[in-house]
């Protein structure tokens, strides 16, 4: 170790040499810690950066002396205690002491008693982390000298981290603007776009542009057919990974070993194929792996996926060799993973990893403002595909608005495609729309598993009754809750013969007193 230089001007020279590295925060901090060791004899310097600084939880950077080797990570309990103390400190063996406020006040501790010294890294009441030295080499210098070095260093680190934070914010803002521009290009080219004018659709587009520039996992929730895969593809296409592949892994109706081999790959001679091959993870290298219906993952595969997301490592089926992967995970699910976690059917740690940035797409029936823009979008695409000129009549649009849409946007897309094929006229009227809807409804019902029988009509009727009951049988309130018009609610009440039930329940409500709910 070089001879100790104890002058503060030397410390400021070190600081000035590190400022240009502010954008590479971790390298800058490591360089500073090494300088504390080399120039001031402060061995085993440790800096803890908080979640707000790196946006990925605590991160510990340290430089150990050659004599002591690398020291271990500070326990979370101790870090919490130091954070709560929020002042410079001396850690004696077994107990923690704040540094006296008065710098002239003598400190009664012998160096042999001191296990560590440190201070928070703060600026304008914003906390960035901790600087912690444990232990340092004993010498003749007073303890107050080393504490003064620590305090000067934390003041510099706070400004360095503020500078880094501002630079990162600016970079993220530029990336979001770039993502937004990329989305506009996709829209203009008629490629991927999330169609809709509702507040919900606009917010989903904004959130997609916000999360796209990052590498954070995304969890997209919603019923079958709402457009989860479409939103995932949009996030991919407007991100910095757009040059990489988008690989979709469908997890339904697969046996565990087949699923494992498909996702993680297989070595030659392993089940289920004699030849080895890359799985979805390797195929998605540098891009996005989209996991469809993640709740179908068995517990063994959940553990493997968790390791991939934590450490970027995985093993092929039939191999013990660790492979590295640079893949962004986007998951789409129609199930409530939070509820499955509570029931013990999904790993909580994996759920928290996937749920870093959740997006929820409501069913079409809850955003009916988007029905006409979606219908026009699909109709325009069908006209280009089939070389025809088509248009919905006002009555046809009214039929579309009164439909329940159990298959969501996907059902609407298929309906429009079916109409473009079936209709022999340019005008799509209510008659042909009703015929196509009845055909599509039978197809959707036939695709549902046996245990989901009630019929689609019964499902809609039950939802209408439930909404009316929650709103004291007041039709316009129930209609507002279901995001439909009062006229559409009246149509459904008539359609399902609920008029007498609504009238009776209203009478009961009038007789109930003392504010009780009916």
User: Tokens for 505?
Assistant: 């329940």
CA-based radius of gyration for the chain: 31
The pLDDT profile of the chain, 518 residues, written as one tens digit per residue, is: 333 444 556 676 777 767 666 567 777 888 888 877 777 777 677 787 765 433 344 455 544 444 444 445 567 677 777 777 778 888 877 677 677 655 555 666 666 777 788 888 888 777 788 888 875 555 566 777 788 888 888 888 888 887 777 776 776 666 666 666 665 666 665 556 788 889 999 999 888 888 888 888 999 999 999 999 999 999 998 888 888 999 999 887 678 888 888 899 888 655 555 556 888 999 999 999 999 999 999 999 999 999 999 888 999 888 888 899 999 999 999 988 988 898 888 999 999 999 988 999 999 998 999 999 999 999 988 888 888 889 999 999 999 998 889 889 999 999 998 888 888 888 899 888 988 887 655 554 454 444 444 555 666 777 788 888 888 888 888 877 776 767 777 777 877 888 888 887 887 776 654 444 56
Instruction: List helix spans (H) across 88-240.
Output: 143-188, 199-211, 228-237
Residue 166 CA, chain-centre distance (Å), reads 23
Tell me how far apart the 2 most distant CA atoms of the chain are, in Å: 98
User: Tokens for 5?
Assistant: 């230089």
CA angle 20/23/26 to nearest 5° reads 100
Place of tokens 């245990």: 451
Please list, in sequence order, all residues whose beta carbon lies within 8 angstroms of the beta carbon of residue 107, skipping any fewer than 6 positions away: 90, 99, 100, 143, 144
User: Which long-range contacts link 319-322 to residues 24+ away (Cβ below 8 Å)?
Assistant: 319/267, 319/270
In this prediction the pTM is 0.58
Which residues does residue 428 pair with via DSSP β-bridges, in sequence order? 392
| Count of Cβ atoms closer than 10 Å to residue 433 Cβ | 23
C-alpha atoms less than 13 angstroms from C-alpha of 111 in its C-beta half-sphere: 15
Asked if the bond preceding 272 is cis, omega within 30° of 0, the reply is yes
């Amino acid at each position: 170790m070089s001879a100790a230089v104890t002058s503060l001007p030397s410390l400021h020279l070190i600081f000035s040499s590190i400022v240009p590295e502010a954008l590479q925060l971790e390298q800058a901090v490591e360089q500073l810690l090494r300088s504390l060791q080399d120039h001031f004899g402060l061995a085993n310097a440790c800096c803890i950066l908080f979640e707000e600084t790196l946006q990925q939880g605590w991160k510990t950077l340290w430089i150990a002396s050659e004599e002591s080797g690398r020291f271990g990570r500070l326990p979370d309990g101790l870090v919490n205690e130091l954070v709560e103390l929020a002042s410079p400190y001396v850690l004696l063996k077994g107990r923690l002491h704040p540094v006296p406020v008065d710098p002239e006040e003598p400190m009664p501790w012998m160096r042999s008693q001191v296990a560590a010294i440190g201070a928070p890294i703060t600026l304008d009441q914003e906390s960035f982390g901790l600087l912690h030295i444990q232990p340092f080499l004993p010498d003749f210098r007073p303890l107050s000298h080393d504490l003064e070095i620590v305090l000067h260093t934390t003041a510099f680190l706070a400004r360095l981290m503020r500078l880094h934070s501002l630079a990162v914010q600016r970079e993220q803002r530029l990336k979001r603007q770039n993502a937004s521009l990329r989305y506009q290009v996709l829209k203009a080219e008629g490629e991927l776009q999330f169609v809709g004018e509702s507040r919900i659709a606009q917010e989903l587009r904004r959130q997609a542009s916000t999360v796209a520039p990052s590498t954070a996992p995304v969890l997209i929730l919603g019923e079958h057919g709402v457009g989860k895969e479409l939103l995932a593809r949009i996030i991919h296409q407007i991100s910095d990974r757009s040059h990489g592949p988008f690989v979709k892994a469908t997890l339904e109706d697969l046996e565990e070993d087949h699923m494992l081999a498909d996702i993680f790959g297989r070595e030659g001679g392993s089940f289920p194929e004699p030849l080895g091959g890359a799985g979805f993870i390797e195929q998605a290298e540098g891009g996005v792996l989209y996991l469809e219906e993640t709740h179908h993952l068995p517990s063994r595969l959940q553990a493997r996926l968790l390791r991939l997301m934590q450490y970027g490592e995985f093993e092929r089926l039939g191999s013990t060799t660790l492979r590295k992967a640079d893949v962004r995970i986007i998951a789409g699910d129609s199930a409530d993973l939070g509820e499955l976690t509570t029931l013990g059917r999904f790993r909580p740690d994996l759920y928290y990893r996937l749920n870093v940035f959740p997006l929820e797409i409501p069913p079409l029936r809850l955003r009916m403002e988007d029905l006409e823009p979606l219908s026009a979008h699909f109709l325009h695409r069908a006209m280009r595909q089939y070389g025809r000129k088509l248009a919905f009549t006002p009555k046809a649009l009214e039929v579309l608005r009164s439909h329940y849409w159990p298959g969501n946007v996907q059902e609407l897309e298929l309906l429009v495609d079916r109409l473009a094929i079936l209709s022999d006229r340019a005008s799509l009227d209510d008659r042909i729309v009703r015929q196509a809807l009845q055909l599509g409804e039978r197809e959707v019902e036939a695709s549902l598993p046996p245990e989901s029988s009630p019929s689609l009509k019964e499902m809609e009727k039950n939802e209408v009754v439930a909404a009316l009951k929650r709103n004291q049988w007041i039709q316009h309130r129930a209609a507002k809750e279901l995001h439909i018009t009062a006229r559409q609610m009246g149509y459904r009440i008539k359609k399902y013969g609920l008029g007498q039930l609504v009238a009776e329940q209203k009478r009961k409500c009038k007789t109930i007193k003392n504010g009780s709910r009916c």
